[in-house]
Amino acid sequence: MGHGSNGVAAYCACGAKFTIEQWSQLEFVGVQDDGIDTLIELRNCPCGSTRARRCDTENALRLLNETAKRLRRALGRLRDIERATVGISAEIVDIDRGAVRVDDAHPERARALRIIRETLASVTFAGEPKTWVKTLSEILEARIAG
């Protein structure tokens, strides 16, 4: 997609102007058919407004494939977390009650329990609920890896 001679690829009603590079860094919302024959790329301006810009088929497919890859990775992380925590929900309750010391559990599970407990206690969720799973999985992945 080209942009005007002034280098601006998109505008927002709040007065913001975006170059193609800046536009690509905005939060991606999706791709929509305008019902006539044009694809529209939707992104959120920092002001909260959703902005639209024409998008060719090749770019739309690339954007949707990137989104699908991110979703597959997030689902994989959730499956990994689920596998790592299978059967420990009762242990979490016991640990919270003080009935079981973390050291008494299997070392890997005890570490996962500590990380999950510390993370849930320290994370403040803000924004849209649809971003919470991504945020939590990224935080847990970084803490478990670190």
Instruction: Write down the pLDDT at residue 81.
Output: 73
Per-residue pLDDT of 72-83, as tens digits, reads: 888 887 777 777
The residue ranges of every structural domain in the chain are 10-55, 72-145
**Mean of all residue pLDDT scores within the chain:** 75
Instruction: Write down the pLDDT at residue 91.
Output: 55
**Which candidate, 92, 87, 83, 81, places its Cα nearest to that of 137?**
81
Query: Is the pTM above the cut of 0.75?
Result: no
Q: Which residues contact 104 (CB under 8 A, 6 or more apart)?
A: 110
CA distances from 142 to 84, 126, 136, 137, 145 (A): 15, 19, 10, 8, 5
Per-residue pLDDT of 106-137, as tens digits, reads: 666 667 767 776 776 666 666 665 565 566 66
Confidence class of residue 2 from pLDDT cuts 50, 70 and 90? very low
